[in-house]
Amino acid sequence: MRENIFDSLIETNSLFVDRQAFEHGFEPNELPHREKEIRSLGENLVEALRGHIPSNMLLYGVPGSGKTIVTKTVLKQLKSKGRANGTSVKAYTINCRTVDTKYRVIQGLANQLEVSGDPKIPFTGWPTDRVLEEYRRRMERRGGMHVIVLDEIDHLVSKVGDSIIYSLTNLNLDLDAARCCIIGISNDLNFTKMLTPQVASRLAQIDLVFHPYGANEINDILEERVKRGIREGALDNRVIGLCSALAAQEHGDARRALDLLRIAVKKAQQMGHEIVDNGHVRLAQSQLEHDQLTPVLRTLPLQQKILLFSICMNEDNGLRNISTGEIYRTYSEVCHRIMVEPLTPRRISSLLNELDGLGIIIARNVSKGRGGRSKQINSAIPESLDAMSEMRDSEPLIQEASKGKYRLQRPL
């Protein structure tokens, strides 16, 4: 019989000893460099164990700075202490990236308190006030302290406004047997600017900022995971340092560092190497860039795609530091070819800024003398990614445009 393909795929000699240690949902025992934040949360939430209402809190910090994991860890301990003390503390989290309407958030909260015999709240159809009333009724029935965590709250507010937060921070006025406090978590540092002052002061009674991790801090976080998750001696001694440094450059994101390390180990394993070295980390880095950028490229609006297509064509022709004028010329030709109305140079200039903001191009302002200014454009797409084919595959008009011939600028 032929060899079973799974024999070679099962990791008999894996470089991982515990792969879970690198999964996103993993809850580490130790959270290095977050002692202060854990303490601040604890010092406020301990009020719940004393029968008082903790202040509402707003936690913010860049992505991957440990907001979610710190909150989760502290709430777990709060619940466990509540059980041990016989104090009723209920804590529940809604992720507002996935649940992002007022109705569904309140429904999600109410569902946490559902017991058999309760009316099922339909996915839509009830007036929102009725859902809120049902939630209030269930809170009252359960009694005690309710700690409500709204993670990624900025998504909810940017989509539906802050009236939901207003309603939730008002709940205590209508509760007798129960009490609640709200913890909002945001990675948008300007989040409070989205709130009316009235709501901002209710929600952010306590502000807690999670600073971005520095390279040394990420190093410590990785060391902990490596001890648990990776075979001893499997890492070249520069690997953790490189992952930490790369992630620190990327706004101090511990998630990025863990991803880099996990993918680097996987790459080494796939290549049949016994030791993970910096080369594997570089491969992991380019795969991550690739994975991040591909969906962005594929979903760009048509005009942005035409613009990027025009830039890539000039670059493929050997041109660098392309001026806005040169890009505009190609762009207009492309529009003509696929019969799309071209935008004005002014609009194109602002679309170039948007592409720059997405990290797809680098637009540098240069002075042209006599007060005139122009931009120099270079693509920032890693070489491992074929932007043209991503755009062609996702947009028939770009497919069509790529069949055309254009008067491209020659490199000097």
The DSSP output letter for 383 is T
Residue 214 interacting with ligand ATP (CB under 6 A): no
State yes or no: residue 258 binds ligand ATP (CB under 6 A).
yes
Cβ-proximal residues to 34 (8 Å cutoff; 6+ apart), any chain: 66, 70, 210
Amino acid at 164: I
Closest residue to ligand ATP, Cβ-based?
Answer: 66
Alpha-helical segments (H) within 121-177: 128-142, 153-160, 163-169
From 15, 67, 78, 149, residue interacting with ligand ATP (rule: CB under 6 A) = 67
Lookup: tokens for 90: 């209920």
Q: Does 28 bind ligand ATP (CB under 6 A)?
A: yes
15, 34, 169, 307: which one binds ligand ATP (CB under 6 A): 34
CB nearer ligand ATP, residue 110 or residue 258: 258
Q: Does 306 bind ligand ATP (CB under 6 A)?
A: no
**Rule CB under 6 A: which of 324-383 touch ligand ATP?**
none
| Selected binder of Mg ion within 56, 65, 68, 304 (CB under 5 A) | 68
93 binds Mg ion (CB under 5 A): no
* Residue 391 Cβ vs ligand ATP, minimum distance, rounded to whole Å: 28
Q: Which two tokens stand for residue 344?
A: 């004005």
CA distance 310 to 401: 10
Rounded least distance, CB 231 to Mg ion, Å: 30
Count residues contacting ligand ATP (CB under 6 A)?
19
Cα gap 302→300, rounded to integer Å: 6
Q: Give the sign of the dihedral formed by CA 352, CA 357, CA 359, CA 364.
A: positive
Considering only the stretches 49-57, 60-68, 116-124, 175-183, report the one whose residues sit in contact with ligand ATP under the rule CB under 6 A: 60-68
Phi-psi region of 237 (alpha: psi -120 to 50; beta: other; left: phi over 0): alpha
Structure token digits, residue 3: 């060899």
* 336-370: burial string, b at 16+ Cβ within 10 Å, e else: ebbeeebbeeeebbebbeebbeeebbebeeeeeee
Please work out the total of residues on this chain that contact Mg ion, with binding judged by CB under 5 A.
1
- Contacts to Mg ion by CB under 5 A: 68
- Contacts to ligand ATP by CB under 6 A: 24, 28, 31-34, 61, 63-69, 187, 221, 254-255, 258
